[in-house]
Amino acid sequence: MASDKVSIHGAWASRWVFILAATGSAVGLGNIWKFPYMTGVYGGGAFVVMYLFCIALVGVPIMLAETMIGRRGRQSPVNAMKSLAVDAGASKHWSLAALMGMVAALLILSFYSVVAGWSLDYILSMGRGDFTGISADGAGAAFGGLTSDPWRLTLWHSLFMLITAFVIAKGVVAGLERSLRIMMPLLFVLLLVLLGYSFTTGHFREGFDFLFHFDPSKVQDGILAAMGHAFFTLSVGVGSIMVYGAYMPKKASIGATVLTVGLLDTLVALTAGMALFPIVFAAGLEPGGGPGLMFVTLPIAFGNIAFGQVMGLIFFVLVAVAAWSSSISMLEPAVAFFIEKTGRSRAKVTAVLALLCWLVGMGTVLSFNLWAEAKFFVFAEDGFHLLQWGAEGGKTFFDSIDYLTSRILLPLGGLAFAMFAGWVLSREAVREELAIRSPLLFNLSLWLIRVVAPIGVLIVFIAELSK
């Protein structure tokens, strides 16, 4: 039976290692800044309720689908979907969805490595005390100085890609599992240290109110934002969860495990908000929007509060660890696939793919400086231009890759995975993998995977394209 297969790449020691791995994949830069900010902007507690609702209806069902396909196939996402499709009497071309997800993951890693590299630079700056007493203009200039220097960005991009490749090259047990057993507890400890410090600022209540005040008038505005973030935050749609599912123990409950990951992901995001916003308010600042301002607003805050240098150092180590745990999940699906396809060693395959991601990432590095005026996909009065220098409108190389992955490839991947698990896999196969005894609960789960989640993804897809 398909469910009796064993992955050639190895296996997690327990379901808790899968939980650590999947949570590490899901927790990234967006959890530490974007989600708390969105919570404050879109009605506080109202947004949290909407977000949890969307997680249950969209995020968790697709994560269930990916995990189920991965464990059933016990191969890389591409080969798992191909073999399971053939077993079900369906077209082997379903594997193209996994191939698309694999390419999307590599493209995301190419620019994620650059942005994550900023946190490494800020660890050094915080450790030196560069932000002590810094003004808003000074913090902006420091960030501008970083992004305008292609050599500096290349250094950190290269280092981050190297540490990502190092973990992957060591293998599932010696690399992924061993590193995640260290990284994820470290992430939780650092987050709790920051939370404990926020209690001492005298502004914890202000930060708490910003996050959790219940404003029903903003519910309508926040529905699409909650649905979109619920989909993207769990790292679904690219095959990362699927390949982690391939290493999952057979006896582990997929439903309980995935629900735990969803709750932990949300808990990390909320805790980050409760830890950071009191610090921002203590420095007399207004919280800004987007993960980019993590490198401007927070350095000002840390530079102007007691023990800010130490807390700032802890924060950027936290950011780097979160980014690292996410980045390894983006590389693993492609590494697993090419090991299966070529028979080459994990170290060689990892080196080639990491180099490829590094080269594509150089386009992102240059997008912030030397190529800042190079615009792609420009619609002008004289027609469409694929590349135009100094044009009004259009997107930089970085913006183009971000748009292609987050607004097109990820939603399409999530849609395909849900449809495959819900309609291509047999009802018996789904029942066996989910191991849900209650007929009512099983039918509800299958309905969410087959109908509700795909509709939710389509709504996200259309909304993202219209932006």
The model's pLDDT over 185-223, given as tens digits with 9 standing for 90+, comes to 999 999 999 999 999 999 999 999 888 888 888 777 788
Q: What angle do CA 457, 265, 108 make, to 5 degrees?
A: 60
pLDDT tens-digit readout, 33-43: 788 878 877 87
From 6, 71, 185, select the one nearest 430 (Cα to Cα): 71
Q: What is the pLDDT of residue 381?
A: 61
CB-based contact 107:405 (threshold 8 Å): yes
CA distances from residue 231 to 51, 137, 206, 288, 410 in whole angstroms, order as listed? 10, 36, 29, 23, 9
Mean pLDDT of the 71-100 span = 96
Predicted model pTM:
0.94
Res 232: pLDDT: 84
Largest CA distance in the chain: 66
Which pair of structure tokens corresponds to residue 159?
């280092």
Confidence at residue 3, expressed as pLDDT on a 0 to 100 scale:
54
pLDDT at 2 over 60: no
Residues 73, 65 contacting (CB under 8 angstroms): no
Tokens for 450, please give them.
């087959």
Residue pointed to by tokens 């800020």: 122
Query: CA-CA distance, 381 to 356, in Å (whole number)?
Result: 36
Strands 383-389 and 374-380: antiparallel
Spatial neighbors of 441 by CB under 8 A, at least 6 apart, are none
* pLDDT given at position 1: 43
Closest CA to 331 of 108, 182, 179: 108
What average pLDDT does the segment 217-234 reach? 82
Q: If you search the block for the tokens 């693993």, which residue do you land on?
A: 332
In angstroms, the Cα distances linking 62 to 162, 174, 235, 411 are 31, 29, 10, 11
Which residues are CB-neighbours of 337 under 8 A, at least 6 positions away? 76, 77, 78, 79, 102
DSSP 198-226: HHTTS-HHHHHHHHH-B-GGGHHHHHHHH
| 32 bridge partner residues | none
Whether 240 and 63 have beta carbons less than 8 Å apart is answered as: no
pLDDT tens digits along 149-171? 999 999 999 999 999 999 999 99
Radius of gyration, CA atoms only, the chain: 22
Whether the predicted pLDDT of 270 surpasses 80: yes
What is the reported pLDDT for 447?
A: 97
CA distance 276 to 305: 13
d(CA 230, CA 54): 6
